Amino acid sequence: MTQSFTTKDGQLIAPGVEIYYTGDMANCEGFGVIKNVEICNWYRFSIHILLEDDRFFTLSPSAFEPGVGTRFFTKKKYLANRKAKLDALFERTSKILAREVFNGSK
């Protein structure tokens, strides 16, 4: 039976939801889709993911929980995180450039 749940930080984990895998030293990053979420005796849920390049993962819910080693995010969460980081970068860069122009340095 297909299931769904929401992580502590509000990510909906359900079949059809697009995901982003950050990769690691041995595996490249990629986008994919959650194919199925099943009840599991060990981890409460078992999440089946298929990436665009046909890699397949079976994960526990902890794979999506926030933390230093998190490698899986919903695509929506990934894009929001990415936008926030780029906005912060552009803001800092514009302040640095404005300061350099104001001080006359190059």
Sorted by where each begins, the domain ranges of the chain are 5-103
In angstroms, rounded to a whole number, what is the distance separating the alpha carbons of residues 47 and 69?
Answer: 18
Contact between residue 14 and residue 4 where contact means Cβ atoms under 8 Å apart: yes
Tell me what pLDDT residue 32 has.
97
Strand partners of residue 13: 5
In angstroms, rounded to a whole number, what is the distance separating the alpha carbons of residues 48 and 43?
Answer: 13
% of the chain with per-residue pLDDT over 90? 61
Whole-model pTM over 0.75: yes
Tell me what pLDDT residue 6 has.
87
Place 8 in a pLDDT band, splitting at 50, 70 and 90.
Answer: confident
